[in-house]
């Protein structure tokens, strides 16, 4: 439908999973995309997508926790495709432990990526949009975990609650410049990371491998875990002019798990 024709999107944490699925959707809607992740070279799935869209897609290695790396990412993005119109701010890590066993190293790593990294990328992209005098759309990836606490997942839940709060504050700050900032809060999504998550739950809850994954899928009102592509429609909508009067919102895309 070319809803994103002539727009340039930057996507972090896009080496696979949700980020890559959204990149595919943006390309299908006519956008040019700069995708970023930690791997020195484009992961195989990204390289395959680049082969299909050589004029519209590039991969840049970036560490979102490092301000200099983020500046280099933005410079590389704009050299190739010009000013940014869209940010899909997706890079994140997950870990968990019982509250009284959780150490400072785990806290630091989760907050460095999920909060500091999210903020650094968002701040620099918003600055570039404002300086260029362009309207734009920033989409921060939160989580249903940011809507409520969980006993084993305290740091991750708190980090995603911070994403929702920063989204609201940034939206109010940038509204006078015609720049919208929204979030998406996925529920349980079947990505490669869920192997790690399932193993942690098995360890701390005494479950068999795969048992937690099956249980959380069945607990979703729609009866299944989400797929990365289930996030694409919301990501396209919030990036497009169809959502021109929407800002400071975090949209739940979770099969009905959270009602707000």
Q: What is the CATH number of the domain that holds 35?
A: 3.40.50.720
Check whether residue 15 and residue 133 sit in a common domain.
yes
* 166 a catalytic residue: no
- Total domains present in the chain: 2
pLDDT digits (tens, 9 = 90+) for 169-208: 999 999 999 999 999 999 999 998 888 999 999 999 999 9
What pLDDT is recorded for position 228? 97
The full length of the chain comes to 260
Residues 161 and 219 placed together within one structural domain of the fold: no
**In whole angstroms, how far apart are CA 150 and each of 26, 99, 100, 144, 147?**
33, 10, 13, 11, 10
Question: Per the domain annotation, does 139 fall within a domain?
Answer: yes
pLDDT score of 260: 83
- 136 and 202 housed in the same domain: no
Give the pLDDT score at 51: 98
Range of the domain at 209: 190-225
145 and 196 co-located in one domain? no
Q: Is residue 40 part of a domain?
A: yes
Q: Among residues 156, 166, 204, 245, which one is catalytic?
A: 156
Per-residue pLDDT tens over the stretch 81-100: 999 999 999 999 999 999 99
For residue 52, tell me if it sits in a domain. yes
Where does residue 211 fall: left (phi above 0), alpha (psi -120 to 50 degrees), or beta otherwise? alpha
Quick one: pLDDT band at residue 258, thresholds 50, 70, 90? very high
Q: Considering the chain, what is the average pLDDT of its residues?
A: 97
**What integer pLDDT is reported at residue 4 of this predicted model?**
98
- In this prediction, residues 224-252 reach a mean pLDDT of 98
Confirm whether 3 is domain-assigned.
no
């Amino acid at each position: 439908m070319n809803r994103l024709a002539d727009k340039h999107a930057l996507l972090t944490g896009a080496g696979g999973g949700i980020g890559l699925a959204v990149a595919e959707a943006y390309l299908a809607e006519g956008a040019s995309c700069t995708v970023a992740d930690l791997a020195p070279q484009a992961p195989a799935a990204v390289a395959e997508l680049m082969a299909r869209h050589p004029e519209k897609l590039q991969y840049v290695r970036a560490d979102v926790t490092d301000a200099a790396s983020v500046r280099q990412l933005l410079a590389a993005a704009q050299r190739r495709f010009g000013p940014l119109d869209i940010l899909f701010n997706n890079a994140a890590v997950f870990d968990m432990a019982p509250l009284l066993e959780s150490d400072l190293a785990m806290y630091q790593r989760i907050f460095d990526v999920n909060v500091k990294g999210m903020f650094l990328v968002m701040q620099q992209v918003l600055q570039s949009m404002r300086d260029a005098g362009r309207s734009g759309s920033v989409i921060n990836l939160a989580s249903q975990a940011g809507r409520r606490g969980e006993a084993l997942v305290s740091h991750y839940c708190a980090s995603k609650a911070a994403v929702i709060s920063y989204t609201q504050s940034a939206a109010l700050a940038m509204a006078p410049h015609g720049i919208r900032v929204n979030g998406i809060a996925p529920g349980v999504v079947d990505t490669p990371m869920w192997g790690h998550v399932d193993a942690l739950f098995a360890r701390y809850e005494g479950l068999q491998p795969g048992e937690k994954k099956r249980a959380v899928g069945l607990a979703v009102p729609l009866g299944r875990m989400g797929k990365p592509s289930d996030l694409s429609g919301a990501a396209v909508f919030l990036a497009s002019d169809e959502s021109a009067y929407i800002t400071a919102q975090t949209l739940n895309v979770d099969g009905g798990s959270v009602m707000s």
